[in-house]
Amino acid sequence: MMDDSSIAPARLARWRWAWASAVWAVAWALMVYFERRIGLAQVAITLVLASALAAIWLPLVSSLATTVAAVLAFDYFFVTPKYTLRVDMTEDVLLLLEIVVLSWVVSGLLARGRVLASRARRNARHADQMRALGDALREAEDPLQRGKALHMALKDLLGQEPKLLLRSHAAMDGEASEVIAVDAPNADELAGMRHCMRLCKQFGPGTGCEPELPALYLPLRGGEDEAFGAALIPVSQKQMAAPDALTQAQALCDQMGQLLHRAQTQREAEAAQAHAQGQAVRNALLAAISHDYRTPLAAIMGAASSLRDVGNKLAPEQRERLAQSIVAETHQLSRLTDNTLQLVRLDAPGVKLHLDWESADELAGAVAGRARRHDPDRRLKVWTEPDLPLVRCDAVLFAQMLENLVDNALKYSDAPAPVELTVRRQGHHIVFAVRDRGSGIEPAWRERIFDVFQRGDWRSSSTNSAAQRGAGVGLAVCRAIARAHGGELKLRQRGHGGSSFECWLPEEEAPRVEEHDSAMNGAPT
């Protein structure tokens, strides 16, 4: 059978009556044929069969009325005395009553089945529509695309062009700026949609609230008393007479509203999580700094107090040792402060580096010179590959990264094991590597060591107490500096023990000296 929903109502009615009329025409021809050759019983059975078949297409009331008319015609033409509605024999009266009752029961059952089938088809169609809208809404990203998906679903349901009003991400109070998704309404319609959204209530034809309006207003409900938009559908009271049309339209709008509600909730949760993470990082940073500042400050204060109070009584060697302690602890404070400030700076959005073309040999040499002042055992060895190209970097930041790596290598490896700073070309990269022969790093810590505030216990073993000092931001700063230059900081375990921290910096083609000088000297003065 053809789906009734695909045929216009007037055409559907004509189509049903055509089939029913054809059934009754064939049935009456057979009844005349059987009455002449077989008898009244077969005619009666044919009448019941025709009534049942016609009931498949006719509405219940029409089917019952047609059955009564057919029974009266059967009495008039076939039951003796013929051509009169009078019935002489009792068994004929019972036969007529049984035909009427049986035909009515069959017609009622068929009508009921037709109603249930139509309702099942309608429910299946509505479920498919809800599922299709859900898929479209999940695939869409911005409110305009989602509004178009809801627009198409409402148009398919009610056959009219709807107009939509959606809340924007930044306006969740219903009165601030909105996003007009599809077919911008006029001033009166916009006022009605805002009113619908503010009250979170439907009104218009079929709703029982202001049914005289020329359009249906539906809220996009995301919660019990909160709407995230409104839909306007220009329909009349007659168009809303279709079963479940209003319920389905509101369900489609609510699906959109719930999606917008979930999106808002997710944004708020992400914002709260980001705020909580920021607070946690800030608190951890303050706690780490306050803890790690305390030790060098105490050492500086103790040494300075000793020099002030009993300096005249101390031997020159003792005064020199106290002065060196002050210098060393001050250097530790300076490094801790620099690392902390650089970590905060590099995490800020839109950070800009002071990039220039630098010599890899000079960078390595400058770092080695400063590191050897704090390396009395002269363990740091430097090797650079000949004919290396210039590297484009922020010299201050890049030197700080290398100094942090060298300082870590010296802390976590005991004398006389050497520490190597090497620079080489590897494919299309310039690799700055700081290598040690320490105890190595446990596998579980080989990625975590680059996280902020991870320190101390990530080496397999360490007898150097100085290695336990620091806020745990040094390697995090090193990786941030490498990535800010478009490179990457990697850890590689060495074959015979120890670690190699390698900064892989992309090789860039440096400008020729003449072009560089021309660019520098050709600027207007």
Residues 196, 277, single domain; the answer is no
Q: Encoding tokens for residue 82?
A: 């013929």
What are the φ and ψ backbone dihedral angles of 231, each rounded to 5 degrees? -120, 135
How many Å apart are CA 86 and CA 93, to the nearest integer? Answer: 10
> What is the structure's pLDDT at 429?
93
The pLDDT of 405-427, averaged and rounded, is: 88
164 with 144: CB under 8 angstroms? no
Going by C-alpha positions, the residue among 453, 446, 448, 488 that lies closest to residue 473 is: 453
Report the CATH number that the domain containing residue 372 is assigned in CATH: 3.30.565.10
Q: Domain span at residue 128? A: 4-133
| Three-class SS state of 5 | helix
For 293, left (φ over 0), alpha (ψ -120 to 50), or beta? alpha
148-159: pLDDT as tens digits = 777 777 887 777
Instruction: Identify the top-confidence range among 23-37, 287-301, 464-478.
Output: 23-37
Residues 363, 339, single domain; the answer is no
Residues 41, 173, single domain; the answer is no
Residues 310, 431, single domain; the answer is no
Query: How many CA atoms, within 13 angstroms, populate the side-chain half-sphere of residue 194?
Result: 16
151 with 180: CB under 8 angstroms? no
- Residues written for the chain: 525
Report the CATH number that the domain containing residue 328 is assigned in CATH: 1.10.287.130
**Residue 519 within any structural domain of the chain:** no
The CA distances from residue 432 to 18, 382, 489, 494, in Å, are: 91, 11, 9, 15
**Residue 183 within any structural domain of the chain:** yes
Residues 59, 198, single domain; the answer is no
pTM over 0.85: no
Q: Is the pLDDT of residue 88 over 80?
A: no
**Residue 514 within any structural domain of the chain:** no
Report the CATH number that the domain containing residue 149 is assigned in CATH: 3.30.450.40
**Residue 166 within any structural domain of the chain:** yes
Query: How many CA atoms, within 13 angstroms, populate the side-chain half-sphere of residue 398?
Result: 30
> What is the structure's pLDDT at 169?
55
* Of 53-62, 129-138, 185-194, 262-271, the least confident: 129-138
266-311: pLDDT as tens digits = 888 888 887 777 676 666 656 656 656 676 788 888 888 888 888 7
Last residue of a domain, one of 316, 346, 376: 346
| Three-class SS state of 466 | helix
How many Å apart are CA 162 and CA 217, to the nearest integer? Answer: 10
The CA distances from residue 525 to 513, 518, 522, in Å, are: 21, 14, 9
Question: What is the domain count for the chain?
Answer: 4
Going by C-alpha positions, the residue among 365, 419, 373, 420 that lies closest to residue 395 is: 365
369-388: pLDDT as tens digits = 888 777 777 788 999 999 89
Going by C-alpha positions, the residue among 109, 13, 25, 11 that lies closest to residue 60 is: 109
Residues 220, 170, single domain; the answer is yes
**Strand 391-393 relative to strand 429-435, pairing:** unpaired
Last residue of a domain, one of 133, 158, 183: 133
Q: Encoding tokens for residue 280?
A: 């946690």
Share of the chain above pLDDT 70, in %: 78
Residues 292, 256, single domain; the answer is no
